[in-house]
Amino acid sequence: MRGPHNIWRLIRTGATLERSGAMNVVLDAFDAPKPLRFVAHALGKPFRWLGYRGDPAMPPATRAITALGPAYIKFGQVLSTRPDVVGDSLATQLRVLQDQLPPFPLEIARAEVEKELGQPLATMFSEFSEPIAAASIAQVHHARLAATGQEVAVKVLRPGIERAFRKDIDAFYLAAQMIERLAPGARRLRPMDVIAHFDGVVQGELDLRLESAAASEFAANTADDPGFAVPEIVWSLSSRRVMTLGWAEGVPLGDNAAIDAAGHDRVALSERVLRLFLQHALRDGYFHADMHQGNLKVAPNGDIIAYDFGIMGHIDEYTRRVYAEILYGFIRRDYHRVAEVHFAAGYVPPDRDVDEFARALRAVGEPIFGRDASRISMGRLLAYLFEVTERFGMQTRTELILLQRTMVVVEGVARSLNPNMNIWHVARPVVEDYIKKSIGPRALMNDLARTARVMARFGPRLPGMVEAALMREAGPPPPPVRRRRRWPLLVLATMLALLIGAAAGFGIAQVT
């Protein structure tokens, strides 16, 4: 479906922003310069009549985004957590995108559940409510199991959602192609790779069997985390388009008034949500990658409850060590070490100057230390970070997109609970604990032990592999005079493999 015909979709995007009155709202939120405002209006106003009308009862930005479709709604959900970037007014408008979108009729939901699970609804559920929450991809119903009386939540995909997402993503691919061709300087951001990554994430989110599996794995990883809970999946009543899980009773994390009325400590909650995310990302390498307020509740006992596991992030151990060292360097204000890590990991081209890059990082970090979050302009900080990446030729790391995006969202959630929180102070204990366990002598010994276990499985094959490699290098061997003794080669191969494996496992982490 990708092709020039998607230009129509992009034109209608600009036209919808103009028709709904959202164009000025968005430009004002990002403090767009006059030249950009002129170009945006010049491209949008002539086609205003082509824009989607949307719901006039909604605020302009929300009206435009909901009219444009689910992919745009996903982007709006991220912005809704960043009042420091888009302003309090726009963030409040966009918050309805998290779980307050118009639902589809109850009759359609009931028919979809019966079709997917292959049973009459009454035999599965003694109660099945009207939609209690509706988001971009699915809606949720409160129900009760007929067999046990257990309260559950039933998630049902929107009808036709697969086709709607496909249409949006195809237009995004075209936009990425245009950016790469018309703006060569933006190629380092790898827009096509970014869209391809987003495409893969969305396809996984549209299969609720994968979400059920993700929720189950996440629950197992976090079972011992104090102050955190994940509802249990009811596998017998879950399928590709329907998911049933335990009911989560609690106050929405985005409702500060309700949190205060319930007697919860918002400062403690803000710190816990950030620390939990860092623990999951660094300790497990598997984290909830859609942690906006619409997917989090506070239980009556004060636990943070997470749900909606359609987007999960995974990072390997090497990348976790890189990420931890970068965070730790910023926390310690050791910008030269942060720069060295970037170079060692290949994030910055080797022909650039490491000292100059360290000074640029200092200009990023120093203004935010010793200041609470309410006095930091995240919009200006992100703009300067973009300038730094462009100046030093840093390319987008697709394996870190979800991690970086989720960090932005979680920080926004934490700041909405406590605008004065010190992000670095909260993150320091988690990062330091990971550094102690994963970087240094103890980590090296663990890497060697894991390497030895792997080598034990392949040890019997190593002598032949080494000999074959040596023979290819030396050419045909002379006629054998006597049988070659193989044990020295086995010892040599094993030692080399252990050293190489340990170095690879140890990564770039060199504690200085």
Which residues are marked as active site? 290
Decide if 137 contacts 103 (C-beta within 8 A). no
CB of 444 within 8 A of CB of 510? no
The residues pairing with 287 across neighbouring beta strands, listed in sequence order, are 313
Give Cα separations from 51 to 39, 61, 381 (angstroms).
17, 13, 33
Residue 32 sits at φ, ψ, to 5 deg, of: -65, 140
Distance of alpha carbon 295 from alpha carbon 279, whole angstroms: 18
Q: What's the token pair of residue 169? A: 């993503």
Q: Which two tokens stand for residue 171?
A: 């237009």
Q: 3-class SS at 297? A: strand
Residue 253: which of 211, 214, 291, 296 has the closest Cα?
296
Closest C-alpha among 429, 424, 495, 430 to residue 462: 495
148 dihedral zone (left: phi>0; alpha: psi -120 to 50; beta): alpha
- Distance, first Cα to last Cα, the chain: 53
How many Å separate Cα 4 from the centre of its chain?
Answer: 30
Query: Does an H or E element contain 144, and which?
Result: strand 138-145
φ and ψ of 506, to 5 deg: -70, -25
* Residue that the structure tokens 């994940």 belong to: 230
